Amino acid sequence: MAVLLSLLLLSCAVFFSLPEPSGLDRGLRAAEAPGLPAPQGWAAFQDPKLGATLYYPANWFVPTGLKNGVYHFKSLNDEAHLILKSQLDELRTGAAATITTFKETPEAALISKIDSGDNWYELSGTNSEGLNRYTRVVYSCKERVVTEMTLLYPAAAAAAYAPVIKKMKRRFQSSFGTETPVRECS
């Protein structure tokens, strides 16, 4: 009993000696999930505004910059392009409504497969230039933050890109950036 009481007192002493986090830090700590380490030979890119993290093979792609709020990556091997886009959706449209709207566009005819869940959807098919297309869209912060990853690649290289897409898809994640609505992410 004395040992148990000593352990309890020691635990309380350690707890009360920890510095008090600020209100913002406390909210972030409660909502943050630990980031995944980058796979060997891969790089991580994080959107500083809304915090989305994209892992990509560093020996295949190089970042080429930000244009109209979209981060672009160019392939070092072929005509492939990788795109990362994050935005706030004040209307909280969500995956199901977005898919319904998308199906009514001319671009939908180029999509061969749509998969979805509660807070995400994926499109597979081609684009108007004949490149294969894979898009994954994730909704976070109670559907206020919409993050999209799109990979466009030559059809002839589909077998080579299949394992890359699988790994990118598993590691694609939302997080916190300078403009993330933190209260809605906890």
- Tell which residue, 49, 75, 50, has the closest CA to residue 62: 75
Helix (H), strand (E) at residue 26: helix 23-31
Cβ atoms within 10 A of the Cβ of 38, count? 15
Mean pLDDT value across the chain? 79
Residue 30 has pLDDT above 70, yes or no: no
Average pLDDT over residues 40-62: 89
What is the rounded distance in angstroms from the CA atom of residue 141 to the CA atom of residue 79?
Answer: 34
Domains of the chain with bracketed CATH: 31-185 (3.40.1000.10)
DSSP-assigned letter for residue 124: E
The rounded distance, in Å, linking the Cα atoms of 73 and 89 is 24
Residue 50 has pLDDT above 50, yes or no: yes
- pLDDT of amino acid 91: 82
Which pLDDT does position 170 carry in this prediction? Answer: 85
Type of residue at 108: A
Residue count of the chain: 186
Q: Give pTM, 2 decimals.
A: 0.74
Please tell me the predicted confidence (pLDDT) of residue 144.
84
* Token digits of residue 117: 């869940």
The per-residue pLDDT for range 122-171, each reduced to its tens digit, is 999 999 999 999 999 998 888 888 899 999 999 999 999 999 999 998 88
Return the SS3 of 40. coil
* Mean pLDDT along residues 17-30: 34
pLDDT of residue 62: 95
Query: What is the share, in percent, of the chain residues with pLDDT greater than 90?
Result: 47
Higher pLDDT, 6 or 37: 37
- Please give the order of strands across the beta sheet that includes 70-75: 61-67, 70-75, 81-88, 145-153, 132-140, 120-126, 111-116
pLDDT band at 40 (very low <50, low <70, confident <90, very high): confident
Instruction: Determine the Cα–Cα distance for residues 31 and 24; give it in Å rounded to an integer.
Output: 11
The average pLDDT across 18-30 equals 33
* Mean pLDDT within 64-81: 93
Instruction: Check pLDDT > 90 for residue 24.
Output: no
Above 80 in pLDDT, residue 34?
A: no
